[in-house]
Amino acid sequence: EIVLTQSPGTLSLSPGERATLSCRASQSVSSSYLAWYQQKPGQAPRLLIYGASSRATGIPDSFSGSGSGTDFTLTISRLEPEDFAVYYCQQYGSSPYTFGQGTKLEIK
């Protein structure tokens, strides 16, 4: 089973700042099958990024994904108030298709 470790656990930033979230895999994720999701309280998750770097439909270009192998990054170039949420990475290269434990992005 591939274990995904996200860091930091909590990230405190101000609107307008840049956010960098990390997702590290215990073994290589095949074909960069890595996705990122955003979840706000009381809501279902929303897909942001798939294939490590492809933005999902309707996702603003302030969100970008990068990485390969075992190290992946989600970057939000300029934080808007609505971006403060919990972010999860998920690998879908090999079953079980595991999630990371999440990074909470909070307003400083």
Partner 1 sequence: EVQLVESGGGLVQPGGSLRLSCAASGFTFSSYAMSWVRQAPGKGLEWVSAISGSGGSTYYADSVKGRFTISRDNSKNTLYLQMNSLRAEDTAVYYCAKGYYEVVRGVIYYYYYMDVWGKGTTVTVSS
Which C-beta is closer to partner 1: that of 84 or that of 88?
88
Least spacing, CB of residue 27 vs partner 1, in Å? 16
N- to C-terminal Cα distance for the chain?
35
Q: Single out the residue of 3, 17, 101, 106 in contact with partner 1 (rule: CB under 8 A).
A: 101
The residue with tokens 């798939």 is 50
What does the alpha-carbon distance between residue 13 and residue 24 come to, in Å, rounded to a whole number?
A: 22
Count CB-CB contacts under 10 A for residue 100: 24
Q: Which is nearer to partner 1, 18 or 30 (CB)?
A: 30
Work out the widest C-alpha separation in the chain, in whole angstroms: 38
Which residues ranging from 17 to 56 are in contact with partner 1 (CB under 8 A)? Answer: 33, 35, 37, 39, 44-47, 50, 56
In the complex, minimum distance from the CB of residue 78 to partner 1, in angstroms, rounded to a whole number: 25
Alpha-carbon gap, residue 81 to 6, rounded angstroms = 22
Binding region for partner 1 (CB under 8 A): 1, 33, 35, 37, 39, 44-47, 50, 56-57, 86, 88, 90, 92, 95-102
